[in-house]
Amino acid sequence: MRDRPVEPVVPEQGLAYAMDATGHADLKFAIRTWEAVANRYAEGGVRLGKPVSLVIEPMPIMGATESTKDGHRLHVADHAVRSRMLDGLIAHEIGHMALAEQGHPSHRADVHRRLVAAVDLASRPRAFGGVVRGAMNHVQDVYADDLAIEVIGDDRASRFFSDWIRSSATEGPSRWATLGNLVSVAFALGNLARRGIPPEDGMAVRAQGFAAAVGLDGLLPRLVEGFRDLPKTDETEAVERAMARLLTDLTTVEARGSGPERHP
């Protein structure tokens, strides 16, 4: 793709607003990268209908999108602007925005409310709610990457998600944090498997070793499958059913964790 001339920027792919809240980031580079990625989406027939504002700010994660009925706000970390992954991040975030505008079930608040009600979060430990929300966010990430990888390719995916496994396959400060880490590891493995991309050597074994060490080795493959096999459709029932299965798998751990047999 490198030999293709840069497309002229069409106004509807532009940003409504862009700001560098750090005072030292390369805002022009971020805007150019946005335009290049948005143009590639447009070539593939995906155009955002709502205005986007971009803000560069200090944050631990690479970036995040907030979508409302009025538009999208894209938060980009200053370290992400300096990284070589900025185009990948923007492609991923535009994927979220497009899915939110299309009303894809993975990105719909009413679907999330039903799923949360179905696993009866209100009666479970608060920290477990965080794990459930993390899992739902990763479902959204898988669908966003379905769009993003069409646009930017998958040549960096193995390395990126192997690093993800390296940093997540570790016991957290609490049982819930550890379960959250396991969900992250499963997402990384499942997201790669969905695209037929192997992780780097040793990563699958490392992930399984971590799961075994924390007593969750039965759960890991189920979660990996859950992320890998999310139905490629915008049909509500199918997507909701697949998400419900993932969350139900998590509740089996919660039930075990709260029982007396947990501490023999």
Interface ranges with Zn ion (CB under 5 A)? 141
Chain centroid to CA 69: how far? Answer: 21
Q: Cα–Cα distance between 245 and 152 in angstroms, integer?
A: 30
CB of 141 to Zn ion, least distance (A): 4
CB of 139 to Zn ion, least distance (A): 10
CB of 138 to Zn ion, least distance (A): 8
User: Looking at beta carbons only, is 92 or 175 nearer to Zn ion?
Assistant: 92
Q: Cα–Cα distance between 137 and 165 in angstroms, integer?
A: 17
Q: Cα–Cα distance between 101 and 188 in angstroms, integer?
A: 25
User: Looking at beta carbons only, is 78 or 141 nearer to Zn ion?
Assistant: 141
Contacts 24+ apart (CB under 8 A), 214-217: 214/171, 214/178, 214/182, 216/178, 216/179, 216/182, 216/253
CB of 144 to Zn ion, least distance (A): 5
DSSP 3-state of 63: strand
User: Looking at beta carbons only, is 88 or 199 nearer to Zn ion?
Assistant: 88
